[in-house]
Structure 1
Amino acid sequence: MLFDFAELAADIRYKILTATVTPRPIAWVTTRSRDGVANAAPFSFFTVLGHEPPTVALGLLRHPDRGLKDTAANILASGEFVVHLVPRPMAEAMNATCVDAPPDVDELALAGLRTTPSQLVSPPRIADCPVAFECRSILNQETGPRQIAVIGEILCAHVADRFVLDAGKGYIDTPALDLIARMHGSGWYARPADLFQLERPRRIG
């Protein structure tokens, strides 16, 4: 079946995208407002773009009532954010930060999360997350009414010591991280299972 997105309502386009582009890694993003209020929210329109320089991309959809979401407003104001990856034991806390809260509410405190200062940016890190990237935005592009694409340069990465196999070679015990990903429909997530490996073809010619 052909779905002509120009002919579809926005909610149907969203459902088709989120039902087919799976699994999607989750960027659990912390930011800080101009007033100093910390904010945390998860986003699954997220990926890495490259390593020279190391960059990430966030797709920040608009809030149905307030326009820009707090995360987008804070990034536009400060240019700083921290991306955390979500392990299965922290899924419920991550989900708690999905709450639609006013800008003056600290979702980190609301979810009972421990935080620690970042090294190079103002927003705090979630202390118990096994992976966190401190980032500074290098491009903020409005792709629709109050819909923002953010490209950020990763300034530094934090990986919990117990998951680092060889720091000099950059070897990480990825399966042990037990990271979750977003799936189809409301509230569906996945975790690594039934892995398989393929050898990359050699150069021809």
Structure 2
Amino acid sequence: MYIETSDPTYKTSLFNAIVAPRPIGWISTLDETGAPNLAPFSYFNGMSATPPMVMFACNQPADRDEKDTLNNVRRTGEFVANLATYALREEMNGSSVTVPHGVDEFELVGLAKGASRCVKAPRVAASPVAMECRLLRVVDFEPEAAGDRRSSVVFGRVLALHIDDAYLDEAGRFDMLKARPLARLGGFTYLAVGDVFEMGRPKVAAG
């Protein structure tokens, strides 16, 4: 199969299924009036450990100029990235519903808010990990072809981590198998972390 992305038969679902699994960034923010917002983003990842940075990306929605999360981040300069896990899968999915501006997704899906320390935005109290972030920049990519929507990539510096001690092993390492973070595949398909293995980096080049 060969297909160019400008071809009318090209489907974004095919791209999403290939570029996978993708970690889910469960992003909590406040608007300028202090109203909370919580939404999952399947284009999310860490960018660097030194300095610690994360990113998430979103497309312009069909019903408004931009998503509430993005608008909040632009206006307040901060957000919290919460770890979406298998145990919280229903709440994560429920928080993705399209609702009018000002609706509190925490209350909508029955999640308690946890206080942050470096930013004002709340965190998901039940999540094993929450990362308080300061906005570094937003990069907007404007449409180039028919059918395109504006895509915005948000970069944030991690200021602080909230880690539930129950998910740390005796050596102080985060237990991924216990937390079972969620990742997005194609369509409505997800996976949770299962088998893991270690593979050390070679010290001497082969040959």
Same fold, TM-score > 0.5, yes or no: yes
Q: Which stretches in structure 1 are left out of the alignment for 5+ residues?
A: none
**Distance apart, 1:7 and its partner CA:** 3.2
Structure 1: 4+ residue segments shifted above 6 A: none
Residue 170 of structure 1 deviates from its aligned partner by 5.1
Query: Paired residue for 1:124?
Result: 122
Answer with 142-151 or 95-104: which moved more: 142-151
Show CA shifts across 1:85-120 (max 9, x none): 111111001111011011111111111100111111
How far apart are the structure 2 equivalents of 1:126 and 1:97? 12
Matched, 1:198 2:202: no
How far does the alpha carbon of each residue in 1:41-73 deviate from its partner, in whole angstroms, 9 at most, with x for none? 000101101112100011111111202000010
Q: How far apart are 1:203 and its partner, in Å?
A: 3.2
Contact between 2:137 and 2:154, CA under 8 Å: does it hold in 1? yes
> Match for residue 181 of structure 1?
183
Match of 1:171 among 156, 173, 179: 173
Secondary structure in 2 aligned to 1:73?
Answer: helix
Q: Any conservation in 1 of the 2:180–2:194 contact (CA below 8 Å)?
A: no
* One-letter identity of the residue aligned with 1:189: Y
Q: Deviations over 1:147-183 (max 9, x none)?
A: 21011000011110111225xx752122111111111
Letter in structure 2 aligned against 1:154: V
Q: Distance in 2 between matches of 1:194 and 1:116?
A: 31
Residue deviations 1:11-38, cap 9 Å, x none?
82x2122111111111100000112110
Give 1:127 shift: 0.5
How much identity, in percent, do the aligned residues show? 34
1:91 alignment partner, SS class: helix
Q: CA deviation at 1:3?
A: 2.4
User: Which residue matches 1:162?
Assistant: 166
Preserved CA contact (<8 Å) 2:28 2:123: yes
Q: Which residue matches 1:97? A: 95
Q: TM-score, normalised to structure 1's length?
A: 0.91
Q: How many residues align?
A: 200
**1:77 paired residue number:** 75
Q: Is the 8 A contact 2:176 2:193 kept in 1?
A: no
The aligned runs of 1:33-72 (5 Å cut-off) are 33-72=31-70
Q: Is the 8 A contact 1:67 1:146 kept in 2?
A: no
CA contact (8 A) 1:85 1:132 kept: yes
Tell me, yes or no, if the aligned pair for 2:22 and 2:184 is still in contact at 8 Å.
Answer: yes
Q: 1:194 to 1:164 in 2, by over 3 A?
A: closer
Contact 1:22 1:183 in 2 (8 A): yes
Query: Can you give the 5+ residue segments of structure 2 that lack an aligned partner in the other structure?
Result: 143-148
SS at match of 1:57: strand
Which amino acid in 2 is paired with 1:75? V
2: CA distance between counterparts of 1:129 and 1:62? 27
The one-letter code sitting in structure 2 at the alignment partner of 1:182 is: R
Local SS of the residue matching 1:99: coil
